[in-house]
Structure 1
Amino acid sequence: MRIGELAEAVGVTTRTVRHYHHLGLLPEPERRANGYRDYSLRHAVTLARIRRLTELGLGLAEVRDVLADDAGKDLVEVLTELDEDLARQERAIRERRARLRELLDVEELPAEGPVSPELAALFARTAAELSDSPMAARDREVLALIETAASPEERERLLTVVGAVVASPEAVAHANEAYALLDALADAGPDDPRVETAARRLAECTPRELLPEAGVVDDDNSFLRALYADFAPAQAEAIRRTLRILAEGT
């Protein structure tokens, strides 16, 4: 058989056959006097076996191990590992589908989504309680970012702390005032006298529990540098002063 006939017989492409030659999975037959390779039935049997193994989900390195063991002892071991891996994937898929169902049960997904159902519910509450200012939207984006990178314990702590703020009418009022002050600083410089007022108001509604456990704010921290750079100069300065106020407890 020529390479095209072999490929057609097994249901693969000639490119696949050449790739398997290159990887050493399928031995190359000698060329005949006319320059064409002459494939035997044994080549077709081996190629068909490679196809079946790859369709089961084995990687080509695993296929090589199976083919190298004529007794087929490795095949049982490899297939067992594959079955265990598929079982793990099934569990992961079930968990992901469960999370999707929880998200779909939320009446309205936030623009920052997908986020956890708990944070989505919290955002739904803030939509009713807090003003729809640009700074409020940025705040939600940062919360979504922090939640994504947080450990389960840190995520629970974050939701508890922020949830307590939303549940407090006084804190909500301060937050709305802070957002309005920060929005007004969009075109201002960092030395604008309103910066200190905005920082003080923002500090009044920001729980100290959101600071690192050590309570120390490092302005050279790469995350904080990126955070400051994402805001207008006056807004960044207000946030910087807010963190300093919270850290110093002043």
Structure 2
Amino acid sequence: MRIGEIARLAGVSTRAVRHYHHIGLLPEPPRLGNGYREYALRDAILLVRVRRLTELGLSLDEVRDVLADDAGRELVEVLEELDDDLARQEAGVRARRERLAELLEQAREGRLPAEGPVSPELAALFADMARVSAGRAGPEPRMAALDRELLALMDSSFAGEEGRRMVAAMQGAVASPEAMERAYDLYARLDELDGAGADDPRVGPVASLLVELLPDEVAERVAEAGPGTWSAGGGFEGAFLTEFSPAQAEVVRRALRLAAERAGRAPDADPAGDADRAPDADRAPGAGRGGRTEEGR
């Protein structure tokens, strides 16, 4: 048999046969005087075995190990590993389908948050927020929408049990209608500070209200983050405080400091910055609204 014939017999391409020769998986017969290679029945049987093993999902290296073991012991081990791997994939697919079923139900009932797929716990919290917002006069505060985005970010950043605890803590903080109303009062007061300077007299009371609404577990998590969280250009500030006006950013910095103090882990540096700092130091030269520079937009 020539290469085209053995390839058709085994159900593979001639390119596959040549590749198996190249990697040493299939012995390459010598050329005859007419320039062709002649394959024997044993070559066809070996090629069919290779094809069947690869169809099971074995890699070519695993196929080589199996073929090298005449007693077939290697095949049992490789197939067991493959079966374990498929079982893990099956469990993963099942979990994804269960999550997909939840999202489909939320989407069909109009309960899927605008922020996109989130945990069921956070989706329930967003639904409560939507009900409170709908019952209030006027448009929803901008800070309420931003807070949902931040909660969705937290939901994605903290995986597993920690994420569920953090979301549960936030839910517990606004579990009652009165607490949710206070949260929306906070959002409205933060909106009122849009465009205000860091020395605005409303900053202190709003920061205190924010800390009152902050769950203990979240305050503890803030305290554990360390001084870099509050320092200029630190992770927390760098992430989103540049989106705020100087007054709004100052509210968050003061609230972070107060939360850390409440948790018994005051940061090394004053989050409000040096006492001599100019009131509008947050608004750097060339900065736009909320202290955003041209480079930071």
- Please say whether Structure 1 and Structure 2 have the same fold, judged by a TM-score greater than 0.5: yes
**Higher normalized helix content (fraction of residues):** 1
Between stretches 39-48 and 61-70, larger displacement belongs to 39-48
What's the CA shift for 1:46?
1.9
Q: Which amino acid aligns with 1:126?
A: M
Q: 1:206 to 1:45 in 2, by over 3 A?
A: same
* Local SS of the residue matching 2:96: helix
Does structure 2 retain, via aligned residues, the 8 Å contact 1:219–1:225? no
Q: Could you tell me which of 135, 148, 155 is aligned with 1:147?
A: 155
Q: Give the distance between the partners of 2:196 and 2:25, measured in 1 at CA.
A: 67
Matches within 5 A, 1:1-250: 1-33=1-33, 35-106=35-106, 107=109, 108-130=111-133, 132-183=140-191, 188=195, 191=198, 193=200, 195-196=203-204, 198-213=206-221, 215-221=223-229, 223-228=235-240, 231-232=243-244, 234=246, 235-249=248-262
Q: Using the alignment, how far apart are the partners of 1:144 and 1:91 within structure 2?
A: 26
Query: Which amino acid in the other structure matches residue 243 of structure 1?
Result: L
SS of residue in 2 equivalent to 1:220? helix
Distance 1:53 1:133 in 2: 62
1:225 Cα offset (Å): 4.7
Q: Give how far 1:230 is off.
A: 6.2
Structure 2 distance, partners of 1:242, 1:129, is: 24
Letter in 2 for 1:8: R
> For the residues of structure 2 that align with 1:233 and 1:39, how far apart are their CA atoms?
79
**Equivalent in the alignment of 2:274:** none
Distance 1:143 1:24, change over 3 A: farther
RMSD: 3.1
- Report how far residue 49 of structure 1 moved: 1.4
Q: C-alpha distance in 2, partners of 1:55/1:190? A: 68
Quick check: 1:21–1:27 contact (8 Å CA) kept in 2? Answer: yes
Structure 2 runs not aligned, ≥5 long: 134-138, 267-297
Counterpart secondary structure, 2:220: coil
- Structure 1's unaligned 5+ residue stretches are none
Does the 8 Å CA contact 2:31/2:37 hold for their aligned counterparts? yes
Cα contact 1:211–1:217 (8 A) shared by 2: no
Report the CA distance between 1:75 and its aligned residue. 1.2
Q: 1:209 to 1:7 in 2, by over 3 A?
A: same
Quote the offset at 1:63 in angstroms. Answer: 1.4
Question: TM-score normalised to the size of structure 2?
Answer: 0.69
More displaced 10-residue stretch of structure 1: 113-122 or 47-56? 113-122
